[in-house]
Amino acid sequence: MDIEFPNGGVVELFLHLLDTFGIRIVHSLGIKFTNFEDFLKIAKDLVDRNIEIEQFAIENDGEVQDVVNFMPMLNQMNITQELQCSMKFPPDFHFDFVKYPREISISNSSWFTFDQLMDCTSARVELKNSLFTNHDLDVFLQKWKKTGTFPNLRRLRIHSIQIDIESPIQEMILPIQNVDNPMIRVLMRNYIYPNIFNPVRVSKDDGTEGWLKVDVGNWPEFNFLM
């Protein structure tokens, strides 16, 4: 099969292939700072065509302001499976998700607020360098225990320097662990088995089980698996 190369560059070729083959799903897309303008053109066309993007990545390089300016478009994109973001935004950065993909992983997540966590519909959430406190995580678990809340959630992992031994979470003194439960793991998708070592069993009001471990020290982390 011969494909006529369109006039123009990489962007024109990409869009030409979408039209030629009737492509409705893009497996993976990321911000490439080698040619940010080309990326913006592609992103805008994918939004206009309402094309599904399974995986989307924002790396921690390039001009931060370019990404800040781009972020409103993120809510217009049809990202369905996974969002990875490692960009370190300025302290005054603010962004609210309109919708969530199935999985989100944010490496510098101080901008991801507690309200967003409470509204999140993702199955897997991993947040590093967050600012959540023991109280925040306690309130999250109080809501999770209620019947019908967080129906999609299977994995929540939060690293925060604000996690400490000063106050309990669900009346449990930190660190929270149980050495009698050496490892728990669950199947999420595509044979991915996230696991948790030495967790404590917690339960929702309807009897649904979850597994919790909270570490303190050099890497304070809240690890929750359902």
Q: Report the candidate in 15, 29, 19 with the shortest Cα–Cα distance to residue 78.
A: 29
pLDDT interval class at 164 (50, 70, 90) = very high
For residue 192, what pLDDT is reported? 65
Q: What is the mean pLDDT of residues 192-197?
A: 80
Residue whose tokens read 């050495």: 179
Collapsed DSSP state (helix, strand, coil) of residue 21: helix
pLDDT at 2 over 90: no
For residue 12, what pLDDT is reported? 87
Q: Is 113 exposed, middle or buried (0-12, 13-18, 19+ CB in 10 A)?
A: middle
Distant-in-sequence, close-in-space partners of 144: CB < 8 Å, separation ≥ 6? 150, 153, 204, 210
Q: Report the candidate in 91, 89, 87, 57 with the shortest Cα–Cα distance to residue 74.
A: 57
Q: Which helix (H) or strand (E) holds 126?
A: strand 124-130
For residue 11, what pLDDT is reported? 85
- What is each CA distance from 4 to 13, 19, 23, 24, in whole angstroms? 10, 12, 17, 21
pLDDT at 34 over 60: yes
For residue 183, what pLDDT is reported? 87
pLDDT at 89 over 50: yes
Q: What is the mean pLDDT of residues 41-56?
A: 95
Instruction: Give the predicted TM-score (pTM) of the model.
Output: 0.91
Distant-in-sequence, close-in-space partners of 108: CB < 8 Å, separation ≥ 6? 60, 85, 86, 87, 88, 89, 128, 129
pLDDT at 4 over 60: no
pLDDT at 7 over 70: no
β-bridge partners, 222: 158, 214
Q: How many residues does the chain have?
A: 226
**195-197 and 221-225 beta bridge pairing:** unpaired
User: d(Cα 93, Cα 75) in Å, to the nearest integer?
Assistant: 16
Domain ranges of the chain: 10-165+216-225
